[in-house]
């Protein structure tokens, strides 16, 4: 009798254990999301983080939630297939999705190119027509992962069912359009140039463009409107060896972004759970952190390693990598496979040191190039014969350095600047000499990539180096703050958070501070400031306004992902 009781208890315990355990995680971490869907009480999780659910929408077996905290900061929790997550987002915030996909793009483009539709309707329409065609081309050449296109379609359908007509093509433009615009400006190539000749000639007379050797220059373009600052610290730099990733994302608000941005937790059927600072209409990410502790952001850079077709846009690159990469090794490998067409910097961190890299890396990238030898690294076709002769010595030096692989070069925390380029004019070398720290702003540091900024078009766009020098100034200042006596080696979460907030006007009141007056107290936050704790899977963001008491919004990803990490 006693034996049978023991056996019955054992069977019950085994069944309970089987019912409570997760299935094999697989390569993409999808099971973590499935586990979350079946056992987590999201209201309790949101309550614990200060959010109350104010709306929900169910698609099939999955329910998405819209929540809000006492400060009025919102958060969405999206679950299921790509289409369903897109539908949930669009249906939960239909009007905001409409504003961000129909009105915001016009305002944002005006911020970038330096003139409005009202001042130059023909040129403005030409740019939008070209950008839309480039976005459609990226779909046709399969540069955009199909699941992200499905999510865009779901978002348009959800917003439309919510009473605001949103077209899939408009969602596509918001997510791919930044790279379409940059491919025009950084390559200087306007497709169908002959057909657009009259408009461009009239615009040249008005000083809005400059045409030289078949390339179009945009003298009023403000590409630094999408500037950024970032760092990754770990090991001896931090208290307890934790990994912190700071991210200051500068982005045009277009009258909407600062009001409509919100925290978002994604629990996809396929891939890893992740958290991001999102905006309605966005399927791509400006930044994010996944359940394996990998975080990522993107920084603009003036680079001639840009082709006239955008390929996989930077926002979609970040999204695809965050959702599908369990380590920095995975992330770099995945980046190399994506058909990228535009020059960007990507800063990534990982709570676990990878097998190949340190905890933090900067990927200095250009277009994915399939030509053997990666000739784009030296951008020879963009230099005139006399210029090639002028740079012949530099090119010989560059030829002795490692080449880019698929348009990607990696600078991690222990990367060493080549001695042959120390002190070379127009090459702003790496100034980090500590193995637990990496910093990036908006200029290339690896010489092979930096050389692509010396073409006539890039020098023109950089405004005779004025914009590049601002990037170097921010880089120097941020590095100095991170390595100051009493800071390096003592960086904890709050210190890291304060460091990435270094340009906040409420902090910079002294006349000697280099950023005094750069932003205005009570003005709009152009983008967001973020701090990731990659060790403990949290993300905290400042967005909205630079009010002295503006609250940050924080999400702990662990309970959503069903992990105790």
Burial class (CB in 10 A: 0-12, 13-18, 19+), 551: middle
- DSSP assignment of 505-532 equals TTT--STTSTTTTTS-TTSB-SEEEEEE
- How far the first Cα of the chain sits from its last, in Å, is 43
For the chain, helix, strand, coil in percent to 5 are 40, 20, 40
Could you tell me if 238 and 491 are in contact, meaning their C-beta atoms sit under 8 angstroms apart?
yes
Could you tell me if 514 and 473 are in contact, meaning their C-beta atoms sit under 8 angstroms apart?
yes
Those residues whose C-beta lies under 8 Å from the C-beta of residue 154, and which sit 6 or more positions away, are 82, 83, 84, 85, 86, 87, 88, 90
Rounded distance, CA 549 to CA 341, Å? Answer: 41
Question: How far, in whole angstroms, is CA 269 from its chain's centroid?
Answer: 22
**Confidence (pLDDT) at 284:** 98
What pTM did the predictor assign?
A: 0.91
Rounded distance, CA 71 to CA 91, Å? Answer: 23
**Confidence (pLDDT) at 310:** 96
Residue appearing with tokens 């200095």? 364
Question: How far, in whole angstroms, is CA 177 from its chain's centroid?
Answer: 14
Q: What pLDDT, in 10s, does the model give residues 238-248?
A: 999 999 999 99
Closest CA to 471 of 452, 450, 495, 496: 450
Rounded distance, CA 66 to CA 218, Å? Answer: 41
pLDDT by residue for the chain (565 residues), tens only, comes to: 444 433 343 433 333 333 333 333 334 433 344 344 456 899 999 999 999 999 999 999 999 999 999 999 999 999 999 999 999 999 999 999 999 999 999 898 888 888 888 888 888 888 899 999 999 999 999 999 999 999 999 999 999 999 999 999 999 999 999 999 999 988 888 876 556 778 887 888 788 888 877 788 888 777 666 679 999 999 999 999 999 999 999 888 999 999 999 999 999 999 999 999 999 999 999 999 999 999 999 999 988 889 999 999 999 999 999 999 999 999 999 999 999 999 999 999 999 988 899 999 999 999 987 534 445 555 555 567 777 788 888 888 888 898 889 999 999 999 999 999 999 988 989 999 899 999 999 999 999 899 888 887 787 776 644 456 789 999 999 999 999 999 999 999 999 999 999 999 998 656 667 888 889 999 999 999 999 999 999 999 999 999 999 999 999 999 999 987 6
Structure tokens, 182: 């940059």
Structure tokens, 456: 């006539």
The values of phi and psi at residue 230, to 5°, are: -155, 155
Integer CA distances (angstroms), 524 to 93, 146, 298, 334, in order: 22, 35, 21, 35
Structure tokens, 432: 């980090």
**Confidence (pLDDT) at 34:** 38
The values of phi and psi at residue 25, to 5°, are: -75, -30
Structure tokens, 88: 């949930």
């Amino acid at each position: 009798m006693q034996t049978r009781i023991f056996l019955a208890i054992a069977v019950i315990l085994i069944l309970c254990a089987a019912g409570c355990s997760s299935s094999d995680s697989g390569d993409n971490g999808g099971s973590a999301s499935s586990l979350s869907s079946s056992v987590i009480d999201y209201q309790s999780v949101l309550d614990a983080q200060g959010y109350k659910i104010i709306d929900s929408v169910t698609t099939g077996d999955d329910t998405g939630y819209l929540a809000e905290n006492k400060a009025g900061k919102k958060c969405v929790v999206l679950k299921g297939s790509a289409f369903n997550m897109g539908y949930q987002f669009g249906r939960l915030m239909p009007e905001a999705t409409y504003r961000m996909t129909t009105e915001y793009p016009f305002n944002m483009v005006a911020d970038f190119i330096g003139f409005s539709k009202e001042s130059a309707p023909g040129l403005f329409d030409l740019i939008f027509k070209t950008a839309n065609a480039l976005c459609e081309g990226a779909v046709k050449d399969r540069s955009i992962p199909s699941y992200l296109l499905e999510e865009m379609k779901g978002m348009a359908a959800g917003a439309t069912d919510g009473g605001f007509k949103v077209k899939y093509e408009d969602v596509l433009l918001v997510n791919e359009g930044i790279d379409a615009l940059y491919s025009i400006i950084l390559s200087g190539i306007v497709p169908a140039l002959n057909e657009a000749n009259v408009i461009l000639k009239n615009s040249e007379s008005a000083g809005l463009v400059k045409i030289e050797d078949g390339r179009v220059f945009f003298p009023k373009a403000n590409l630094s409107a999408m500037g950024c600052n970032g760092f990754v610290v770990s090991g001896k730099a931090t208290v307890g060896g934790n990994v912190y990733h700071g991210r200051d994302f500068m982005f045009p608000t277009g009258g909407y972004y600062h009001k409509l941005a919100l925290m978002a937790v994604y629990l996809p059927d396929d891939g890893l759970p992740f958290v991001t600072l999102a905006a309605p209409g966005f399927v791509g990410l400006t930044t994010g952190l996944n359940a394996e502790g990998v975080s990522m952001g993107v920084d603009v850079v003036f680079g001639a390693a840009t082709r006239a077709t955008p390929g996989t846009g930077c926002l979609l690159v970040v999204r695809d990598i965050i959702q599908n990469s369990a380590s920095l090794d995975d992330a770099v490998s995945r980046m190399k496979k994506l058909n990228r067409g535009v020059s960007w910097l990507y800063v990534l961190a990982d709570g676990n040191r990878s097998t190949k890299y340190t905890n933090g890396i900067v990927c200095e990238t250009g277009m994915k190039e399939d030509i053997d030898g990666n000739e784009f690294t030296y951008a020879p076709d963009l230099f005139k014969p006399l210029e090639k002769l002028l740079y012949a010595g530099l090119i010989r030096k560059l030829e002795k350095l490692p080449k880019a692989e698929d348009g990607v070069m990696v600078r991690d925390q222990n990367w060493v600047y080549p001695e042959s380029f120390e002190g070379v004019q127009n090459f702003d070398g790496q100034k980090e000499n500590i193995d637990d720290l990496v910093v990036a702003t908006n200029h290339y540091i690896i010489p092979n990539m930096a050389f692509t900024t010396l073409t006539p078009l890039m020098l023109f766009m950089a405004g005779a180096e004025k914009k590049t020098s601002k990037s170097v100034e921010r880089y120097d200042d941020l590095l100095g703050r991170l390595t100051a006596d009493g800071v390096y080696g003592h960086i904890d979460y709050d210190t890291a958070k304060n460091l990435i907030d270094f340009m906040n006007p409420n902090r910079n009141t002294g006349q000697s501070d280099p950023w005094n007056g750069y932003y205005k107290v009570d003005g709009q936050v152009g983008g967001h400031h973020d701090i990731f704790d990659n060790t403990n899977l949290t993300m905290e963001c400042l967005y909205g306004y630079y009010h002295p008491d503006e609250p940050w919004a924080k999400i702990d990803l662990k309970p959503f992902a069903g992990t105790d990490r």
